[in-house]
Structures are given as C-alpha cells and as structure tokens.
Amino acid sequence: MWKKARWDEIRTNLLPFLLASGYSEDDLSWVPISGLTGQNITEPIGDVCSWYSGPPLIEVLDSLPVETRNPNGPLRIPVLDKMKETNRVVIHGKIEQGTVSLGDKLAVAPNGTPT
C-alpha cells in the first residue's frame, strides 16, 4: 500500500518551493505515480492507493489547456540544443510563434549573430 502520510509529507515540503517559484496552487496537479512499475500513469491506480481517487497522470496531462500559437506574431524559437561542428554551430529549436520561410534572414539573440 502507498502511504498517505508520505504523500502528505512530500506535498507539504514541495509546495512552498513551487509557490516561491511563481506557481499558484491552481497551477498544480498532484498525482501519485510509480515510474518504476508504471502504476497510475495510464491506468487508474486501484486498490494499491485507496486514498487517491483522481485520474491517472495521462488523463491529467491530456486535460491541460494548450497555448495558442500566433503564426503572424513575432518569431520566437527557444534554443533547445546546440552542437559545434568543425567550422560552424548547429542550433536546434522549436517555433513557438511566428513563421519562417526559406530565404528569411534571422539573427540569434541577444548578440544579433546572423544566421
């Protein structure tokens, strides 16, 4: 059995950090899971954790609102990774807003390096 006392201890100790990091309690969803056994990730947890009656993690993630993207807004591509090759740097990112077309001239912020 999963112990509610341990669950309460984790929440009690983690909540002040999350609130201090800028989250509000409305931003948070608390879901007990086991990464080791996969319990309560895709299927409800059942008898193992009788004190938890909420949905499994995948249902919680599927219910989160999706941010809208504006294809006509200013281009925003957060850098996810970079690799140095012999004489160049390759930067990986994901377009979060705006549109890129073949031939567009771009610059890397904050120093304005052309790409």
Across residues 65-83, what is the average pLDDT? 88
Tens of pLDDT, residue by residue over 57-71, are: 999 999 998 888 899
Quote the mean pLDDT of the chain: 90
Residue numbers of the domain that contains 55:
4-62
Q: Is 73 part of a structural domain of the chain? A: no
Q: Are residues 86 and 57 in the same domain?
A: no
Same-domain check for residues 51 and 88: no
8 and 58 part of one domain: yes
Give yes or no for residue 110 having a pLDDT over 80: no
Cα distances (angstroms) measured from residue 24 to each of 14, 15, 58, 81: 13, 9, 22, 30
Put simply, whether the predicted model's pTM sits higher than 0.85 gets the answer no
Res 16 pLDDT > 90: yes
Q: How many domains does the chain have?
A: 2
CA of residue 90 relative to chain centroid, distance: 24
